[in-house]
Structure 1
């Protein structure tokens, strides 16, 4: 076994309660992940399943998984701020999704999620001084920037994590794209986002897949797939890798990435396995290689650390 660890990020989609329970039961029993981030991070209206959170925490901890609580990526109402503050009372690590959570967590050890705009050493140092202990870097960052930030994180004693699989969260809006698409108002959305358990891909006028929408969230239409770049990331000093839950066999995804990190299969075979799991969805690593995000680059681009 290597010293690398896998994190399963928060579920970004609106799944029924029973499906969530079944999903995390299997993750607890079968997935070789070290950490699981729980909690609603996209839309404060999605309260279905909140009652099973204690059960999920106990289930995952009994399986030896570290449990982290994620906070909303956009806080607009007092009740949402109170809900974020309530996370601090559960005696578990909290992953900040926005500045509101950072303010509440200041002075306490905490984590930061990929939607926080940390793209330079100064910001990272400031957050470390306020209690940041782990950060998942934004998936849009090129590898050259990740290398600089990873080195600074090591100097500051902050654990660095890379987003290596799944639809990358790009932005959060005050408006609900899913509701608008169905001719509904946000306040009367009828939770239509639940009809697309893996997000809804939006095409350009020319018929090219552009982005995916997930309620108030915008994501990449492709699955970010850095399985071929794991060696480069490890050379940068990153030893924690994030998988984002999608509507597919996430246990198989976790096993494939784990086997690659452990040297049991090569990156080429891993890439084939992941693509076989998702035959109808493109994969991409363009952001990491300093290119447009939708492309998939084989091998290492110039300028990345060996």
Structure 2
């Protein structure tokens, strides 16, 4: 296989941590990313459950400072489901006070950010050209497309907005749905308000099985996620040709520096695809890979592709 450059211009982003990792662990994780990972953009913030927010907030200034000193662009991600008066108040405060660009993960945040430069996150449904264009006109600098779009749909969206920044979810368990209920708490016989933060026990999410014992989804607090780990390493070439400018890698409880290095070297052409896939396979042991959405089939499928000569 040729190891020619796919795109040394394409940027890698690290999505916000979706899971309930201890605050000190998150801080140290971001410090390591700042010092060692060849990533261009780092998203920080609590997007899953507002009850976790107070633990991370005190560390955000020093995390952002460390990342910026290392030459990384910092983006603050907002909550993906805003329901209570307290959550609305906190969202208003973040929009008013944040010195960093924001990623809006629900329509209320997008409304507050109208006319201001921001990122539209993956929790906002963008399925057609008109919606994409509307958000750009509203002030979006970059839009992160939903994980369930096929390659053909992505190509069509990119063709309609050339020279715009588009981000694709390329690695990690992907968020599929949100709920007002906390599945994690309920699975332990607890209420959402009295959850005891049991989601902390599952740093990559809690597997959900069918009645036959087959894992098919994962749960992360109020969030339903894929059981499989999205891996679009093979599809990078086509996505770059379509016009994708950024590729998101979702944090998992493994060596994310190595994951980032692998994707960067593949984009730069210094690492062949087969070798890159072997590295990722050695790192990801908790679930199989998938790329089904991209190929227009069930999302949990892995469509094997022949190597390009």
Instruction: Indicate the TM-score class for this superposition, using the shorter chain for normalisation.
Output: over 0.9
Residue equivalent to 1:304: none
Find 1:69's aligned residue among 70, 76, 89. 76
Residue equivalent to 1:125: 133
1:239 shift after superposition? 2.2
Find 2:243's aligned residue among 237, 247, 250. 237
Deviation >3 Å, runs of 4+: none
Q: Given the alignment of the two structures, is residue 288 of structure 1 paired with residue 294 of structure 2, yes or no?
A: yes
Residue equivalent to 1:108: 116
Distance in 1, matches of 2:89 and 2:70, equals 31
Distance in 2, matches of 1:267 and 1:65, equals 26
Residue equivalent to 1:206: 212
Structure 2, unmatched stretches of 5+, are 1-6
Q: CA RMSD in A?
A: 1.1
1:79 shift after superposition? 1.5
Find 2:105's aligned residue among 83, 87, 97. 97
1:184-233 deviation line (CA, Å, top 9, x unaligned): 00000010000101100111111211100000001000110000110011
Give the structure-1-normalised TM-score.
0.95
| 8 Å Cα contact 1:179/1:186 also seen in 2 | yes
- Counterpart secondary structure, 1:261: helix
1:139 shift after superposition? 0.8
Distance in 1, matches of 2:138 and 2:286, equals 43
Give the structure-2-normalised TM-score.
0.94
Distance in 1, matches of 2:57 and 2:107, equals 23
Q: Give the stretch that moved more between structures: 51-60 or 85-94.
A: 85-94
1:67-92 deviation line (CA, Å, top 9, x unaligned): 00101110001211121122222121
Pairs aligned (count): 298
Distance in 1, matches of 2:223 and 2:148, equals 16
Q: Which has the higher contact order (CA 8 A, sep 6+)?
A: 2
Distance in 2, matches of 1:217 and 1:119, equals 21
Find 2:36's aligned residue among 19, 27, 30. 30
Structure 1, unmatched stretches of 5+, are 301-306
Find 2:161's aligned residue among 150, 153, 173. 153
Distance in 2, matches of 1:239 and 1:268, equals 23
1:120 shift after superposition? 0.1
Distance in 2, matches of 1:9 and 1:97, equals 12
Distance in 2, matches of 1:280 and 1:76, equals 33
1:152-202 deviation line (CA, Å, top 9, x unaligned): 232xx5310100000001111000000000000000001000010110011
Distance in 2, matches of 1:193 and 1:165, equals 22
Distance in 1, matches of 2:242 and 2:14, equals 21
In the TM superposition, 1:231-270 aligns within 5 A as 231-270=237-276
Residue equivalent to 2:3: none
